[in-house]
Amino acid sequence: MASLVLFLPSSPYSSSPLPPKPQPQPPPPPTPPTPVPAAARPSRLRALFARAAARRDPEPSPAAPAEAAPAAAVEERRSLAAALLLRGTGATRGGGAAVEEVEKRDGVVWEQRPEDVEAERRRRELTSPGFSFSAAGLLFPYHLGAAQYLMDKGYITERTPLAGSSAGAIICAVIASGNTMQDALQVTKDLADNCRSKGTAFRLGAVLRDVLDKFLPDDLHIRCNGRIRVAITQLSWRPRGLLVDQFDSKEDVINAVITSSFIPGYLAPRPATFFRNRLCIDGGLTLFMPPTSASETVRICAFPASRLGLQEIGISPDCNPENRATPRQLFNWALEPAEDEVLDKLYELGYKDAAVWAEQNSTEFIVKNGQPLGID
């Protein structure tokens, strides 16, 4: 009864009738909120986006600011969603400073940090040719064999410019490291054995990173700076090909070649990865065989170039059509680790194809304009 008394308008002992129940009043109309400038609204998501997926897309045209703003908002939401997805899957960010400048060269969008651009300006263009290695998946031994021949015959020296995408980027780092191609072939066999026994998809990236960290020297970045170019595909409103040729550390080089090799959903269980705070995937998507810093680039493709519709390829299985694996075999070996005898065969095929190319280019490529190969 005590609790009931609290809700009655008069004492329970009074004989007077209860007053009529008041009718509810309609709520007042809502007051419109005072608009707050977008820049003044704190947003943890906006800060996350700025850190995780910062980009330098071209500024919108002044002629149509009203149309450009919605497009930019849609792009921000898309990139933010991708960044949050990767954050949830445990993706890690690569080291290095943010890209500051953009150049276009030979139809390639080439983004570099200010110190990278300055280093490129100081470098005199080479008249001797460089060598570019294609994306190849697990056909890595083919590139090892081709590189071995070119090194044996003096086409590739300690200063020859190199470029590569995916597996091609890895071979560039291996050549610059000073390790022998035979040692690299043995490491490739160890990696293949690990993947055959424990699986390839979703874990190849972690295994590859561990192998490269143990195999490559600590001064790798010094050996690579200005000499090798690593192709990467940046994801923005459209995929863009990026070239990187200046590195801060050995880890920075490894991050670059792992990013260049990042086949979505294959190297790791996520759709993309981060490199220098940018959302990126396999460089072969946009730069299958990137240009070197030399005035001429000899391109090396692990697949039959004619079957892919590629032109102006120097070294490929087309050099030796009577002694090569079938395209079906090559594509199968590119995705799943082959047995050791197949890896040895790929190495041999690369060596022989390079030899056939050298028979047709033995004089004009050894010396260009009186300069030995690789001298700058």
For residue 67, the Cα-to-chain-centroid distance in whole angstroms is 31
Model confidence over 346-366: pLDDT tens digits? 999 999 999 999 998 875 555
Instruction: Please report where in the chains the tokens 């983004």 appear, as a residue.
Output: 111
Q: Could you report the per-residue pLDDT of 52-89, keeping only the tens digit for each?
A: 444 333 333 344 443 444 444 444 344 333 333 333 33
Q: 3-state class of 243 per DSSP?
A: strand
For the segment 21-33, the average pLDDT, to the nearest whole number, is 54
pLDDT of residue 108: 56
pLDDT tens per residue, range 155-185: 999 989 999 999 999 999 999 999 999 999 9
Q: What is the pLDDT of residue 268?
A: 84
Domain range list for the chain: 97-315+322-358
Say if residue 147's pLDDT is above 80: yes
128, 166, 261, 316: the active-site residue: 166
* Mean pLDDT confidence for 5-18: 38
Q: Write down the pLDDT at residue 56.
A: 37
Of residues 229 and 4, the one with the higher pLDDT is: 229
279-287 average pLDDT score: 93
Q: In what helix (H) or strand (E) does residue 237 lie, and over which residues does it extend?
A: none
CATH topology of domain 97-315+322-358: Cytosolic phospholipase A2 catalytic domain (3.40.1090)
Residue 40 pLDDT exceeds 80: no
Question: What pLDDT, on the 0 to 100 scale, is given for residue 325?
Answer: 77
Instruction: Name the pLDDT band for 228 (thresholds 50, 70, 90).
Output: very high
Predicted confidence (pLDDT) at residue 51 exceeds the cutoff of 50: no
Residue 361's pLDDT is what? 85
d(CA 235, CA 205): 19
Any catalytic annotation for residue 190?
no
**Mean pLDDT, residues 277-293 taken together:** 92
Determine which one of 116, 252, 282, 318 is catalytic. 282
Least confident of 91-95, 152-156, 332-336: 91-95
Q: In the chain, what percentage of residues exceed pLDDT 70?
A: 62
- Under the banding of pLDDT at 50, 70 and 90, the label for residue 100 is very low
Lookup: tokens for 271:
């759709």
pLDDT (average), residues 205-225: 96
**Alpha carbon distance 319, 304 (integer Å):** 9
Neighbouring residues of 312: CB distance < 8 A, sequence distance ≥ 6: 299
Instruction: Specify the pLDDT at position 202.
Output: 86
More confident of the two residues 6 and 272? 272
pLDDT of 321 > 70? The answer is: yes
Which of 117, 219, 120, 201 has the alpha carbon at shortest distance from 161?
A: 120
End-to-end CA distance of the chain: give it in Å, rounded.
101
Q: How many CB atoms lie within 10 A of CB 115?
A: 12
- Residue carrying structure tokens 């079957």: 307
Structure confidence at residue 373 (pLDDT): 43
Is 166 annotated as catalytic?
A: yes
113-139: pLDDT as tens digits: 666 666 665 555 555 789 999 999 999
On the question of pLDDT at 97 being above 50, the answer is: no
| Of residues 371 and 66, more confidently modeled | 371
Reported as a single tens digit per residue, the pLDDT across 182-209 is 999 999 999 999 989 888 888 889 999 9
Range in 113-127, 263-277, 323-337, 360-374 the model is least confident about: 360-374
Calculate mean pLDDT across residues 247-274: 92
Q: Binning pLDDT at 50, 70 and 90, where does residue 261 land?
A: very high
* CA-wise closest residue to 224 among 265, 188, 200, 252: 252
The predicted pLDDT at position 295 comes to 84
Average predicted confidence (pLDDT) for the chain: 74
Q: With 70 as the cut, is the pLDDT of residue 2 above it?
A: no
- Max mean pLDDT among 8-22, 174-188, 227-241, 295-309 falls in 174-188
What pTM was computed for the model?
Answer: 0.68
